[in-house]
Structure formats: C-alpha cells, structure tokens
C-alpha cells in the first residue's frame, strides 16, 4: 500500500491503516514522517511502514551545529533535515539578490535565474555551485517560467 502524501493529518491515516490492514506492508514519502509519530498514533500503528527521506542527514554535520542550536532555541525542537536544506536554498537566493542589487541589475526572473546559476555560496552543506544542468528542479521551475 502506498500512501498519498497530500493528507493534512497523516497520523490519523497511519492509525487507520493499522486498524484496517495491520499485516500489510505500507510505504509513504517523507511528508508523513514526523518526530511525534509514536506519541500521536501509538505503537503498533507505525509497524510495517517504510518511509523515504530525500534530504541528506545533516544533523551530525559540524557546520550545521550552530544552525541547529539557534533553531532549537527559537522553536523549542530540533530542525528536520529539510530545514537545513531550506536554509541553504535561502542563502543561495539571498546571495543572488545581493549580487544583483550591488550591480544595479533589476531583480527579474531571468536575472535571478542567471544569478542563481552562477552562484558560489558557502552553505551548511558546503559550497553550492550551480550550473544549468545541476540546478534543482524546484529552482529551475521558479526561475525559468
């Protein structure tokens, strides 16, 4: 059973799935994984589920520790790996905007696309260098439409 990721209440569905088909192997994308799964649905509801996670595990990275501490201090819990990826993406976007502004270039989609594609930004995951072929599908869709 593959679970659709667009459900606003994944914990309920995990509990219901266990009640309806307790012995079935179930799979879902990472959008249904949260740190409270055992407390919201209780064991054994998560038993038999397989989860994917496309974000790299960055929680142990030395460069991420300051970000993790600041995030936890502000929000009261540690970030998910995706929060680190989102932070890095914001660094690339901010860098592109700063370079365009410094050059007196109007911030348009085309200018942002070109600035992002020429980025060389130090992020929590290392230096981000983008080329037309390496740029992420999300950034490509925003900057090329």
β-pair type (126-129, 120-123): antiparallel
Query: In a structure prediction context, what are the per-residue pLDDT tens digits for the chain, which is 145 residues long?
Result: 444 444 444 544 556 776 777 777 777 766 556 656 666 666 666 677 777 766 777 888 899 999 999 999 999 988 888 888 889 999 999 999 999 999 999 999 999 989 998 888 888 888 887 655 455 555 444 444 3
CA 93 to CA 113: how far, in whole Å? 10
What pLDDT is attached to residue 100?
Answer: 97
pTM, entire model: 0.62
What pLDDT is attached to residue 48?
Answer: 73
CA 74 to CA 108: how far, in whole Å? 33
CB 75 within 8 A of CB 116: no
Strands (E), the chain: 2-3, 26-28, 49-51, 120-123, 126-129
What pLDDT is attached to residue 74?
Answer: 96
Q: What is the largest CA-CA distance in the chain?
A: 62
What pLDDT is attached to residue 39?
Answer: 65
Output the CA–CA distances (angstroms, integers) from residue 81 to 88, 123, 138, 139, in the order listed.
11, 14, 17, 19
CB 31 within 8 A of CB 43: no
């Amino acid at each position: 059973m593959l679970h659709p990721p667009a459900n606003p209440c994944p914990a309920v569905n995990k509990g219901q799935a266990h009640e309806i088909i307790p012995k079935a192997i179930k799979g879902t994308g990472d959008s249904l994984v949260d740190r409270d799964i055992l407390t919201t649905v209780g064991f054994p509801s998560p038993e038999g589920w397989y989860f994917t996670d496309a974000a790299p595990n960055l929680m142990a990275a030395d460069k991420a520790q300051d970000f993790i501490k600041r995030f936890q201090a502000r929000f009261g819990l540690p970030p998910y790996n995706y929060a680190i990826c989102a932070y890095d993406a914001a660094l690339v976007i901010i860098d592109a905007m700063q370079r365009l502004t410094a050059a007196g270039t109007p911030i348009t989609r085309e200018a942002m696309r070109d600035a992002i594609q020429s980025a060389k930004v130090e992020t929590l995951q290392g230096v981000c260098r983008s080329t037309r072929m390496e740029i992420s599908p999300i950034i490509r869709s925003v900057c090329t439409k």
